[in-house]
Every structure is written in structure tokens, then in C-alpha cells.
């Protein structure tokens, strides 16, 4: 479900944010909707914006998308990732990371 069409953005909170390579990756959570989603401030030149839960649920933004659909998950069980400039940026509730992307996946 779309967090903006469902109006889940009205009470959303920023769980964690990472600024790197000229982008900002944000993990959002809506207490009213009991759902999380990932956002990137500037989707140009990014790839594979994704939200995933520890339970295996995931959503991937369409090409050029600035945010993902929501996953039914609390903020402790969700992680957001995006690829920028050959690096995967990631955020969870209590951590963030940057990993080099190698290979042709």
C-alpha cells in the first residue's frame, strides 16, 4: 500500500536517516498504520530502493521511485536500503551502514 494515498504519512516518524553520496535514505514508520517504508530524497541515479522486514516481507520501489510501498512492520523489524554510486546505503532502527556493491546483480 502507498503510504501517501493511505495517509500514513500524517503521523509518520523518522526511525533512522543516513546522509551519504549526496542522498538521504530514510526509514519511516506510521504508528496509526502499523507500517514502515523507505524513502530517498533524490531518486535520480539510485537503484533498488527497498524495505525489508526480519520476517521476510519486502517492497521495492519502481524505477525512479522516491519511496517504497509499506510493509506491515514495527520500526524494530524493518531495514531500508538503496544503491547510490556503487554503494549500498542501509538503515535500521539503531544502525546504518554503507557497503560497496560488487558484481553484476
Model confidence pLDDT, tens digit, residues 67-78: 999 999 999 999
pLDDT digits (tens, 9 = 90+) for 34-63: 999 999 999 999 999 999 999 999 999 988
Residues 35 and 102 sit within 8 Å (Cβ to Cβ) = no
Q: Which three cell numbers stand for residue 37?
A: 517504508
Asked if residue 2 is part of any domain, the answer here is: no
Asked if residue 1 is part of any domain, the answer here is: no
Please state, in angstroms and rounded to a whole number, the distance separating the CA atoms of residues 55 and 96. Answer: 19
**pTM (2 decimals)?**
0.93
Asked if residue 105 is part of any domain, the answer here is: no
Asked if residue 49 is part of any domain, the answer here is: yes
- Binned at pLDDT 50, 70 and 90, residue 104 comes out as low
Tell me what the mean pLDDT of segment 80-98 comes to.
Answer: 96
Count up the domains in the chain and report the number: 1
Asked if residue 55 is part of any domain, the answer here is: yes
Burial 48-81 (b: 16+ CB within 10 A, else e): ebbbbbeeeebbbbeeeeebbbbbebebebbbbb
Determine the structural domain holding residue 71 and report its residue range: 8-100
Amino acid at each position: 500500500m502507498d503510504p501517501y494515498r493511505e495517509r500514513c504519512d500524517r503521523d509518520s516518524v523518522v526511525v533512522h536517516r543516513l546522509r551519504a553520496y549526496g542522498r538521504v535514505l530514510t526509514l519511516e514508520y506510521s504508528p496509526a498504520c502499523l507500517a514502515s517504508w523507505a524513502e530517498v530524497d533524490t531518486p535520480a541515479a539510485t537503484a533498488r530502493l527497498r524495505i525489508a522486514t526480519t520476517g521476510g516481507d519486502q517492497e521495492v520501489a519502481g524505477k525512479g521511485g522516491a519511496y517504497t510501498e509499506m510493509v506491515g512492520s514495527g520500526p524494530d523489524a524493518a531495514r531500508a536500503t538503496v544503491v547510490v554510486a556503487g554503494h549500498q546505503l542501509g538503515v535500521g532502527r539503531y544502525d546504518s551502514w554503507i557497503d560497496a556493491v560488487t558484481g553484476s546483480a
